[in-house]
Amino acid sequence: MKSGKTRRERVITDEVAGYITRVEELSYEVKVQDVMTRDVKVATPDMRMVEVLELFREFRISGAPVASKGELVGIISIEDLIRALRGGDMAAPVSEYMSSSVITVKAFHPVVEALKVFTQTRVGRLPVVDEFGKLVGIITKGDITRGLLRALQSTYQEEELRRYRASHLFDDIVSDRTSLILRYTVKARDFVRGGRASSSIKRALLRLGAHPQIARRCGIAVYEAEMNLIIHTTNGGTIRVEIEPHQIYMEAVDDGPGIENVDLAMQPGYSTAPEEIRELGFGAGMGLRNIQRCVDELSLESTPGVGTRLKMHIYLSEGREQLRERGDEIKSMTRQEMKQRSSRDDSSGDH
């Protein structure tokens, strides 16, 4: 059995982990379909470039998908239009200027996957397709920014009450060791449900009164582990999280195919994802790097033909009080104070 293990010299504090912002957290939760533009203005291959100019001018857009008989065949942008204008070729058909190599994103992907594609390709817009490849929208970085801002403005008062109730879960339990164990089954190639386990775990931690940064770090680490099970395994696997007063232990386990070279797999950018997975925007080889960024200790054990076990630890230096302090504060608040505190907490989580 091959294994790779990294251990940090000290526990990450909230100050050190502060760059994991509330916006970054939301980028793993909000779906592309929640922020995309649904009313897509579409060009056709036989349209003249002068017609594209009018289309862009009328609807104040800078690009559009090109479709023929309902099939996505290309994309036309303002840069293509400028080339036609400079060449005095505005009577030419769109097919002569459009980009026929189209990069798309799935509607059910979290927006973080669209952001990865934008960073890797530097394109200005991405056509959005459903699980059957049908065009259902278009997304830009501006759409993502506006969508995340709307999510940031959501009220947290009801969630605060839930957190208060959950934070007293262990109050009347007396034992030598108390822990809460959460288990999730993840199916191979189930991209539609990808991210559900990580969202559920993060929500549970917040309701238990964990600091938002701790919940965010756990959420991102489990998301990447969850996507690895979806992308790389034969039969999927399980996510197990054990929450204790002094630590949070997370593990992802599968039964194959296993990793041939664990040391190589730990290197940023290395990926064994097949081409069809890469075409979906996954498998960039940064999953383990993102996990390392969020956890205090990571261990990867794998045997080819048998399976892989990924172990992750986050240590809670403040112990049980860290999980209960927030609930005790909320208990003494009036409803108005709760609203003000919620607003302050949400604001402080963005920096």
Structure-block tokens of residue 182: 């959460």
For the chain, list residues with pLDDT below 50: 7-19, 155, 157, 319-351
Radius of gyration over every alpha carbon of the chain, rounded to an integer in angstroms? 23
Cα–Cα distances in angstroms (integers) from residue 108 to residues 24, 78, 128, 280, in the given order: 18, 28, 9, 11
145/187 same-domain check: no
Helix (H) and strand (E) counts in the chain? 14, 11
What are the distances in angstroms from CA 94 to CA 52, 101, 176, 340?
A: 8, 14, 72, 54
Shared domain check, 337 and 192: yes
Check residue 279 and give its pLDDT.
72
Q: Are residues 136 and 207 in the same domain?
A: no
Q: Is residue 157 part of a domain?
A: no
Contact partners, residue 249, CB within 8 Å, separation at least 6:
241, 242, 311, 312, 313
Tell whether 95 is covered by a domain. Answer: yes
Q: What pLDDT, on a 0 to 100 scale, did the predictor assign at position 315?
A: 93
Q: Is residue 161 in some structural domain?
A: no
What is the CATH number for 213? 3.30.565.10
Say yes or no: 84 and 200 in one domain: no
CA atoms within 13 A on the CB side of 332: 4
- CATH code: domain of residue 54: 3.10.580.10
| Final residue belonging to a domain, choices 149, 180, 207 | 149
pLDDT tens for 97-117 read 999 989 999 999 999 999 999
Q: Is residue 159 part of a domain?
A: no
Domain end among 149, 180, 196: 149
Whether residues 130 and 215 fall in one domain: no
Neighbours of 102 (CB within 10 A): 17
Q: Residue 179 falls within a domain, yes or no?
A: yes
* Same domain membership, residue 122 and residue 65: yes
Provide φ and ψ at 20, rounded to 5°: -80, 90
Residues 121 and 238 in one domain: no
Residues 225, 340, single domain; the answer is: yes
* Domain-located, residue 91: yes
Give the span between the Cα atoms of 182 and 166, in whole angstroms.
15
The pLDDT value recorded for residue 303 is 94
Which amino acid appears at position 344 of this protein?
Answer: R
Q: Are 314 and 333 in contact (CB under 8 A)?
A: no
Which of 181, 175, 244, 251 shows the shortest CA–CA distance to 214? 244
Tell whether 195 and 117 lie within a shared domain.
Answer: no
d(CA 316, CA 45): 58
Q: First and final CA of the chain: distance in angstroms? A: 42
Domains contained in the chain, number: 2
One domain for residues 213 and 134: no
pLDDT reported for residue 278? 77
Instruction: Give me the pLDDT at residue 332, please.
Output: 44
In a domain, 120, yes or no: yes
Q: pTM for this structure?
A: 0.56
Question: What is the extent of the structural domain holding 90?
Answer: 33-149
For residue 340, is it within any domain? yes
| Whether 11 and 46 share a structural domain | no
Nearest to 239 by CA among 225, 258, 252, 221: 252
Note whether 109 and 224 are same-domain residues. no
Strand partners, 106: 129
